[in-house]
Amino acid sequence: MGIVQKASIKLTVVSYAGAALGYFNKILLFTNFLHPDQVGLIDIMNRVSALFAQFAVLGMTSVGVRFFPYFEDKKKQHHGFLFWSNFVITVGFLASTLLFIFIKPVVIRYYQKDSPLLIEFYYYIIPLAFGLLYFQFLESYLRALLKTVVSTIAYELVGRLLVTATITLYVLKLINFHQFVLLYVLGNCVVALTLLVYAAYLKQLFLRPVISSRLMRLLKIVLVYGFYTILSALGGQILGIIDALMVAAKLNLAQEGIYGTVFLMTTVMMLPYRSILKITHPLLARFWKERNLDSMAELYRKTTLTDMVAGGFFFLLLWLNIFSIFRFMPGEYYSAKYVFLLLAIARYVDMATGINGLIIITSKKFRFDLWCMLFLIVTTIALNWILIPRYNILGSAIATLISISLYNILRVIFVQYFYKMQPFSINCLWVLLITLAVWGIASLLPDLHNKYVDMALKSAVVTVLYCTPIVLFKLSDDVNGLLYSYTKIKYFKPKNG
């Protein structure tokens, strides 16, 4: 757990610095200087490019992390693993581009009337997807090498600083909106280029073709695993984009801009969780290789508890400060207050069920995740179809909460049934009860006229009420271990540390 804790702390610090930049860009600058339909355009472009890239990568990101331990040998250029993976995603990108061009008439039919900006900037999505594709590919390669900090810095800091520079040029009227979108796309390509340079710096950029007996011996299982992970990962991306596309189609791009902004506001909760996922993915692959299920089960429980502590804390900070946060934005965004609440609860459910998905996709029963995902896609589409016309963007938030909850419940049950692992301990229950108690107590605080004073007061109250019992009763070894490592106060020393 020490490796996970140390690395995830570094990644979380970088991620929160990036989140601060992201909030500054998209909560302050985007909402105040772009029209909601322009905000919606950027959100849709990001989501569609993510789906595009996921299709084009043809499962190579998951294959890389899962099977790289079997190919790892720097002297033999990792048996040509990087070259052949790059060959596959190049083919995938070309095929995806042709499909994307082919389906444009269908997109026009559904979005021309209420979301014309999407049609106008349709082809900008191709280079945006290209940059994201190669970032994901190189990031997964570096993750397999246990090099995660630089890629996180590139995405969270470099990429967002480029966005800050771009929107600043637009605010100063030095560029128009078309030029803003173009520079936004190019900035994402620069982030991918940063990882390429870093891999070369590490002397791990092996792009010469190598034919090895190991590659040929494992080719069949790699292809089978890749096929299923393509479908499963695509399902995940489709599930993540359904709400945005259906809001834009059934309502309009402006409503999607509001929905997408609120959705973005909840992502800060997920940053510790995503940092842990990056670290634990290659570790799980090694545990399966070594048949070390005891260590895997321990990792499952400890990361779940850590996620619940972090998720509960940031949920409380965001929700109890929501009134003041919305005062930084135009008035129409406040109508999405309860959309934020439902999406934030959905994020908490995702975190509170731990690394169940990674355990499944790195196991021999990885096919289950695909069938589960397909069921949820159908369910999510049906729920959005029914709920959006009735409740507008709140309906989409309800659909998201239900689908994420179902998905994670199924995965927890699956891991428990087949591998006799479950993520919860009695301390998880205590953390949940503390979260609910602090929510109830802090909700009694009045909203102050000065938004800065209001946020400072409520944040201080939440921090004291939430953190004190968790630290004093030593509910999380990771939290107490972190405090002890910095303060050296013996009382903070974790029970098992």
The residue type of 450 is: N
Summarised one tens digit per residue, pLDDT across range 385-401 is: 999 999 999 999 999 99
Instruction: Report the alpha-carbon distance of residue 446 to residue 297 in Å, rounded.
Output: 44
Summarised one tens digit per residue, pLDDT across range 455-467 is: 999 999 999 999 9
Q: Tokens at residue 31, please?
A: 């909402």
Q: Tokens at residue 395, please?
A: 């309906």
Both ends of the chain: CA-CA distance in Å?
11
Q: Which of 405, 49, 55 lies closest to 233, judged by CA?
A: 55
In a domain, 238, yes or no: yes
Q: Which residues are within 8 A (CB) of 248 and not within 5 positions of it... i.e. 6 or more apart?
A: 40, 44, 111, 114, 115, 118, 255, 256
Summarised one tens digit per residue, pLDDT across range 48-57 is: 888 888 788 7
Q: Tokens at residue 142, please?
A: 């570096």
- CA quadruple 389, 251, 248, 273: dihedral sign: negative
- DSSP 8-state code for residue 78: G
Rg of the chain over all Cα atoms, to the nearest angstrom: 23
* pLDDT exceeds cutoff 80 at 440: yes
Instruction: Report the alpha-carbon distance of residue 184 to residue 272 in Å, rounded.
Output: 26
Q: 168 falls in which pLDDT band (50, 70, 90)? A: very high
Least confident segment among 61-70, 117-126, 465-474, 484-493: 61-70
Q: Tokens at residue 157, please?
A: 């800091």
* pLDDT exceeds cutoff 50 at 1: no
Instruction: Report the alpha-carbon distance of residue 414 to residue 27 in Å, rounded.
Output: 38
Summarised one tens digit per residue, pLDDT across range 206-262 is: 666 666 665 665 556 666 666 666 666 666 667 677 888 888 888 888 898 899 889
The answer to whether the beta carbons of residues 192 and 140 sit under 8 Å apart is: no
Q: Which of 215, 230, 289, 275 lies closest to 66, judged by CA?
A: 289
* pLDDT exceeds cutoff 70 at 420: yes
Q: Which of 265, 279, 343, 340 lies closest to 307, judged by CA?
A: 279
In a domain, 497, yes or no: no
Q: 130 falls in which pLDDT band (50, 70, 90)? A: very high
Least confident segment among 10-14, 283-287, 339-343, 440-444: 10-14
pLDDT value at residue 401: 92
**Average pLDDT value over all residues in the chain:** 83
**Residue 140 or residue 342, greater confidence:** 342
Q: 298 falls in which pLDDT band (50, 70, 90)? A: confident
- If one counts the domains in the chain, the total is 1
In a domain, 43, yes or no: yes
Instruction: Report the alpha-carbon distance of residue 392 to residue 250 in Å, rounded.
Output: 9
pLDDT value at residue 384: 92
Residue 219: domain span: 2-492
Q: 192 falls in which pLDDT band (50, 70, 90)? A: confident
DSSP H helical segments within 103-203, as ranges?
104-111, 116-120, 125-144, 149-153, 159-171, 177-201
In a domain, 44, yes or no: yes
The answer to whether the beta carbons of residues 345 and 403 sit under 8 Å apart is: no
Please, what is the angle between helix 213-250 and helix 104-111, to 10°?
A: 30
Instruction: Report the alpha-carbon distance of residue 358 to residue 366 in Å, rounded.
Output: 9
What's the full length of the chain, in residues? 497
Summarised one tens digit per residue, pLDDT across range 57-104 is: 776 666 656 655 556 556 665 556 777 777 878 888 999 899 999 999
* pLDDT exceeds cutoff 60 at 8: no
* pLDDT exceeds cutoff 90 at 203: no
Burial of 102 (0-12, 13-18, 19+ CB in 10 A): exposed
- DSSP 8-state code for residue 212: -
Instruction: Report the alpha-carbon distance of residue 129 to residue 136 in Å, rounded.
Output: 10
Mean pLDDT within 363-369: 79
Instruction: Report the alpha-carbon distance of residue 427 to residue 434 in Å, rounded.
Output: 10
- Three-class secondary structure of residue 343 per DSSP: helix
The answer to whether the beta carbons of residues 356 and 419 sit under 8 Å apart is: no
Least confident segment among 190-194, 230-234, 249-253, 298-302: 230-234
Instruction: Report the alpha-carbon distance of residue 389 to residue 422 in Å, rounded.
Output: 38
Residue 437 vs residues 69, 283, 350: alpha-carbon distances, Å: 45, 35, 21
The answer to whether the beta carbons of residues 210 and 76 sit under 8 Å apart is: yes
In a domain, 210, yes or no: yes
**Long-range CB contacts for residues 205-210, cutoff 8 Å, separation at least 24:** 205/82, 206/77, 206/78, 206/80, 206/81, 206/82, 206/83, 207/82, 207/83, 207/86, 208/77, 208/80, 208/83, 209/80, 209/83, 209/84, 210/76, 210/77, 210/79, 210/80, 210/83
Residue 206 vs residues 133, 140, 244: alpha-carbon distances, Å: 18, 15, 39
Burial of 265 (0-12, 13-18, 19+ CB in 10 A): buried
Q: What angle do CA 398, 403, 409 make, to 5 degrees?
A: 125
Q: Tokens at residue 60, please?
A: 């190579």
> What are the respective helix, strand and coil percentages of the chain, to the nearest 5?
85, 0, 15
Q: What is the pTM of this model?
A: 0.77
pLDDT value at residue 66: 62
Q: Which of 291, 330, 282 lies closest to 148, judged by CA?
A: 282
The answer to whether the beta carbons of residues 40 and 254 sit under 8 Å apart is: yes
Alpha carbon 119 to chain centroid, angstroms: 27
